[in-house]
Structure 1
Amino acid sequence: MKKKLIEMRERMNNQLTAMYVGIKGRVANEKGVSTIEWVGLAAVIIALMFALATAMKGSGGDLAETIINKLREMIEGINT
């Protein structure tokens, strides 16, 4: 009986260790994370510019429109 309990404990310990190593490997893998962060930041900035253009229609809208046009040119320049 005692031998069987020891074997069960060892199997469980091995399984838990394997799970821990697998999860730790997945969490440590951060490939591409910074790219996603930069894309998210760019999306937020563009959204703010569009909100600025909408808010400034009629009063200073030319400035906001110029900023958006420059951003649009920069983004189109990335695609080429």
Structure 2
Amino acid sequence: MASLDNPTKRKLEVLLGITVAKDVGVLSADVAEHAGQVRNFRNYIHPRLHLKESFAPHIETARIAQQVLVGALKDLESQYTKKGKA
């Protein structure tokens, strides 16, 4: 089996992390689905691509990503309080 280069390995790790977090109940299905899309978009808005393609994302798309992050944090908070740690 061919070894993965670092960027490919990192992408795979993030994707698997989202999937596993959903599968074990840490992330809700809706947050996990949106997190995957945010991950894809994050890859698209990489600074090098900004320069190469003259791409400037709208503040609204950044706010969508921010809301997904808030959802993920709420899911994590919920898991933490379920275990009686709060």
Range of TM-score over shorter length:
0.3 to 0.5
Greater C-alpha Rg: 1
TM-score by length of 1: 0.36
Greater helix proportion: 1
TM-score by length of 2: 0.34
RCO higher in structure (CA 8 A, sep ≥6):
2
